[in-house]
Amino acid sequence: MTTTTDSLPHQAGSASQSASPPSSPARLSATPRATLWRSGLLAAVTWLALGALVLQWPNKEVGFSDWAYTDEFGYVALVIAGVLELLAAGGSFTARLVHLLRPAGQWLVALPLLLLVWEILTAKLGLLPTPFFAPPQALIEVYGEDWPRLGLSTAHSLRLLAHGFASGALVGFLVGVWIGWSRIAGYWVHPVLRFLGPVPASALLPLAFFFAPSSYAAAVFLIALASFFPIAVLTWSGVAAVNKSYYDVARTLGASESFLVLRVAIPAALPQVFVGLFMGLGASFSVLVTAEMMGVKAGLGWYLQWAQGWAAYSNMYAALFVMAVLCSGLITLLFKVRDHALSWQKGTVKW
């Protein structure tokens, strides 16, 4: 027994010695280490190739003056290439910024390649006919010279989208909670919602402009109607799918009817509500263009119609790009709101 007891400290010491080496690499890996960003170097090479091609390869004559902002486009590509090269080889000085950009490394390589193909097919070879297709520098010209009109149209579209989407989301949420909670509403309102909800909002365009007091009010109504249906249906589905045991536990603790709705049903249905908000936002953007093409005197839809009327296809593509960025930004913002609102449900909700 003595021999066994005396050997325990020796075994414990050897075990601690054997466990200590793996911990030191862990501590070293926790400290920030500057590594070469290979994707950044590859992206710098592609942006450098794009800038060199734009500047050295002359544009094909298109029957009128040469494409403006060609040199500026090439210089911007060269500047981006230089910045990426400094970041990739900056060591510890740029390690934090490289850590933020590393997930987008492949996109930083693919984007200049797409711009390179676009530039060759339009400005350099002219395989895509003008003015229906314009090179990337044409969009730079639009943003540089027509930004007051485009910016004003974007502001009007944001205001219209905010009014319509907020109205539709609020009414759809309240109706969805009402249908999911009340048996009377489920009996009378639910069939009407299923019958009229799938009707496209754009199909009611003549009626909206006839009954609405102004074209702006009609546009708000159409956007609200487009976002109302998915939000109402998914909110109703979320409230109706709440586990009945939650209500039983709350009633046992003396919860009132309003407490059951506000503190049990609605929080449990929030994942479905946010799915409806995402779907409603996409539907609102699709109706936004249609609504602004009918009587509204400003907005991205109006700008698209104006550009098509004057055959200014560069302006049309610039407006479409602004709409894509705007929609993507709003969806990203809605994701942030969802993550913050549902942070307490992590582990029970599929993310």
Q: What would the pLDDT profile of 18-60 be if each residue is shown by its tens digit?
A: 444 444 444 444 444 557 888 999 999 999 999 999 999 999 8
Supply the pLDDT for residue 14: 45
Structural domain boundaries, residue 151: 147-341
Same domain flag for 199 and 128 = no
* Helices 105-119, 70-88: inter-axial angle, 10-degree rounding: 160
> Shortest CA distance to 202 belongs to which of 93, 273, 292?
292
Same domain flag for 205 and 337 = yes
pLDDT over 50 at 242, yes or no: yes
Distance CA 63, CA 31 (A): 60
Helix (H) or strand (E) holding 98: helix 95-101
Q: Look up residue 7 and give its two tokens.
A: 């050997």
- Count of structural domains within the chain: 2
Average pLDDT over residues 87-111: 89
Same domain flag for 113 and 247 = no
Q: Look up residue 46 and give its two tokens.
A: 């592609």
Same domain flag for 177 and 243 = yes
For the domain that residue 275 is a member of, what is the CATH number? Answer: 1.10.3720.10
> Shortest CA distance to 285 belongs to which of 161, 171, 159, 198?
161
Report helix, strand and coil shares of the chain as percent, to nearest 5: 80, 0, 20
φ/ψ of residue 349, rounded to 5 = -110, 140
Distance CA 185, CA 177 (A): 10
Supply the pLDDT for residue 11: 46
CB hemisphere CA count around 268 (13 angstroms): 22
Residue of higher predicted confidence among 205 and 351:
205
Report pTM: 0.78
> Shortest CA distance to 221 belongs to which of 234, 210, 231?
210
* 3-class secondary structure, 295: coil
Same domain flag for 164 and 305 = yes
Residue 281 lies inside a defined structural domain of this protein: yes
Kindly report the average pLDDT of the chain as a whole number.
84
> Shortest CA distance to 115 belongs to which of 70, 170, 159, 175?
70
pLDDT over 60 at 339, yes or no: yes
Q: Look up residue 330 and give its two tokens.
A: 């709003």
